[in-house]
């Protein structure tokens, strides 16, 4: 489910973490037609930033018409790029490396993944995710890095198949051009945001 008009937010964090969250929201606003506004009492559906045991986590898309939805910004998650990534989930995006066509672009090394984290690498069915005809995006902020959730003494959980040089994956700096295009398609943004 998508957000209507704007994503309403409640910030429980203070200080530097609050400032980081605000910067991440402004980043989305500067590149898309999305806006994040402070929740008002009549808003029944909104995003609440909190800290949960999962650390950095969020549901994908708007979950309910009449209930709050949490984004956890826990310990070591209070970096602008990580918050941009978690907001990507709330906006409606799964991890790039879980796309139905991912096997054409990356190799997932499940034997190198820490026990209990393999769900983060599950390939989605075409009925579960719509990439809006955008090509696979190695530079997406929604893509994991090559060693995300790697076991000790293992370097890779994801290996790009593209070669010479292999593309870097897992950046947490900014939205990629593909992230921007896909968001603007998903939300029907005016052409000046394309």
Residue of higher predicted confidence among 178 and 17: 178
pLDDT, one tens digit per residue, over 86-114 is 999 999 999 999 999 999 999 999 999 99
pLDDT, one tens digit per residue, over 23-72 is 999 999 999 999 888 888 888 888 888 888 888 999 998 888 888 888 98
- Specify the pLDDT at position 144: 97
Sign of the dihedral defined by the CA atoms of residues 167, 153, 119, 62, in that order: negative
Residue of higher predicted confidence among 12 and 177: 177
Binding-site residues for Zn(2+) sit at 85, 89, 95
- Specify the pLDDT at position 43: 80
DSSP 89-148: HHHT---GGGSTTGGGTEEE-GGGBPTT-GGGGPPPPTTT---TTPPP-TT-TTSPPTTT
Show the domains of the chain with their CATH numbers.
7-92 (3.40.390.10), 95-194 (3.40.390.10)
Active site residues: 86
pLDDT, one tens digit per residue, over 146-184 is 999 999 999 999 999 977 677 889 999 999 999 999 999
Binding-site residues sit at 85, 89, 95
- Specify the pLDDT at position 194: 57
DSSP type of residue 7: E
Comparing CA positions, the residue from 44, 33, 41 lying closest to residue 5 is 33
């Amino acid at each position: 489910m998508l957000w209507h008009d704007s994503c309403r937010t409640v910030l429980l964090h203070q200080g530097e973490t609050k400032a980081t969250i605000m910067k991440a929201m402004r980043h989305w606003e500067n590149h898309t037609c999305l806006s994040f506004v402070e929740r008002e009492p009549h808003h029944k559906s909104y995003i609440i930033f909190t800290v949960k045991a999962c650390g950095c986590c969020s549901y994908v898309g708007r979950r309910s018409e009449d209930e709050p939805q949490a984004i956890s910004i826990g310990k070591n998650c209070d970096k602008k790029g990580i918050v941009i990534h978690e907001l990507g989930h709330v906006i409606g995006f799964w991890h790039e490396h879980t796309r139905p066509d991912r096997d054409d672009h990356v190799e997932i090394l499940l034997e190198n993944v820490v026990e209990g984290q393999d769900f983060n690498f599950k390939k989605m069915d075409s009925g579960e995710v719509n990439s809006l005809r955008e090509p696979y995006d190695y530079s997406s902020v929604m893509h994991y890095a090559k060693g995300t959730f790697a076991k000790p003494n293992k370097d890779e959980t994801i290996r790009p198949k593209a070669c010479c040089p292999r593309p870097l994956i897992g950046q947490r700096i900014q939205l990629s051009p593909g992230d921007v295009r896909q968001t603007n398609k998903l939300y029907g943004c005016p052409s000046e945001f394309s």
